[in-house]
Amino acid sequence: MEKQPKVLVTGSGGQIGTELVRALRSMHGTENVLSTDLIPRDRDEGAEGPFAQLDVTDTESFVALLEEHKINHVYHLAALLSSKGEKNIDLTWNINFEAHRKLLAACYSHNVDRVFFPSTIGVYGPTTPRQMTPQFTSFQPSTVYGITKITGELWNQYYKSRYGLDVRSLRYPGVISYEVIPEGGTTDFSVEMFFELKRKGHYVCYLKKDTRLPMIYMPDVIKATLGLMQAEVHQLSTSMGYNLSGFSLTPAELFEELQRYYPEATISYEPDARQQIADSWSETIDDRTASDDWGWQPDYNMQGMVKDMVKHVV
């Protein structure tokens, strides 16, 4: 039987962590995946399995877990998102970059052989082409979130070229899912709209109706993350984040599609500070490097995603 890796996931109670832990456990075995989060586990993460409370700024505790569980794969998901990040820039730098820098050093010194780092479309900025944003382009993000993530990508690249540490990364677009409602992001409207229309019949959107942003449905997030982590090292042409996208949509387009399911629903638009962040990000993404290198292909377009989401939103 193939030897299974021993996996540690940080930020496992978040939107992606909750579902990724379950996928990793069904692939590698429940006992081989240690989920960790700052907040003690209070919700069912699918199959029960090992859990440890962990503050990612506490490198000593992280190292103790690496040693105790003989970890060799780390998925470091813990981070603050774009909108929340602007409200506390020092905390965002400390969690999103400083903690990552120290965790990466610990992974290297403890012979971890594969690390996953989630990056984001937030690494782009006003100087980046907004249509079909290329893999290699201008990165001048206007949020602290984007600054921490592009710095993290560069740090990963440095560790890979200087020390040979196998660090892999994806630039996630807005992630749509129904298990955990995301908080503190700029793309959160794409999830909130489902729940508000179902529960209240009305949604007040904080972005303008025609703000186009790249998105992806959770099953494709899991597919992409596992696909990248399972690829052979020789298939990977970059240790920066791979561009990734499922589809792009505007709030008005999503609402129109949702009206097929909730014909009485209504929407209003009250743009706030998040509009400026959204306006600095890409509208569409060129993710052909991911397709060419390790065969990335999304399964869901917007219509398929909405059809599936409405079955699950309560």
Q: Are 115 and 107 in contact (CB under 8 A)?
A: yes
Helix (H, G, I), strand (E, B) or coil at 174: strand
Site for ligand AKB contains 122 (CB under 6 A): yes
Annotated active-site residue in 75, 124, 145, 178:
145
Residue 36 or 92: the one with the smaller Cβ distance to ligand AKB is: 92
Minimum CB separation of residue 271 from ligand AKB in Å reads 15
In the complex with ligand AKB, which residue's Cβ is closer, 78 or 121? 121
Q: How far is the CB of 295 from ligand AKB (least distance, A)?
A: 23
Within residues 154-183, the interface with ligand AKB by CB under 6 A covers 172-175
Instruction: Report if residue 21 touches ligand AKB, rule: CB under 6 A.
Output: no
> Quick one: which of 18, 36, 72, 82 contacts ligand AKB (CB under 6 A)?
82
The DSSP H or E segment spanning 10 is strand 7-10
- How far are the Cα atoms of 74, 97, 107, 160, 161 from residue 154, in angstroms, in the given order? 18, 11, 17, 10, 11
Does 158 qualify as catalytic in the annotation? no
Supply the DSSP symbol for 285: B
Residue 52 or residue 207: which is nearer to ligand AKB going by CB? 207
Nearer Cβ to ligand AKB, position 71 or 175? Answer: 175
Nearest by Cα to 257 from 309, 200, 183, 222: 309
Which residues within the stretch 126-145 sit at the binding site for ligand AKB (CB under 6 A)?
145
Q: How far is CA 8 from CA 18, 21, 139, 156, 302, in A?
A: 13, 9, 30, 18, 32
Dist CA 117 CA 168 (whole Å): 6
**# of chain residues touching ligand AKB (CB under 6 A):** 13
Residue 278 Cβ vs ligand AKB, minimum distance, rounded to whole Å: 8
Phi, psi of 180 (to 5 degrees): -125, 125
How are the residues of the chain apportioned to helix, strand and coil, as percentages rounded to the nearest 5? 45, 15, 40
Least CB distance to ligand AKB at residue 250 (A): 15
CA-to-CA separations, 119 to 21, 50, 61, 114, in angstroms, rounded:
18, 26, 24, 16
Nearer to ligand AKB, 174 or 246 (CB): 174
Q: Does residue number 81 form part of the binding site for ligand AKB (CB under 6 A)? A: yes
Q: What are phi and psi of 226, to 5 degrees?
A: -70, -35
Residues 102-121, interacting with ligand AKB (CB under 6 A)? 120-121
Q: Which helix (H) or strand (E) holds 37?
A: strand 33-37
CB of 29 to ligand AKB, least distance (A): 30
Min CB(186)–ligand AKB separation in Å: 4
Residues lying near ligand AKB in the complex (CB under 6 A): 81-82, 120-122, 145, 172-175, 185-187
By annotation, the residues acting in catalysis are: 145
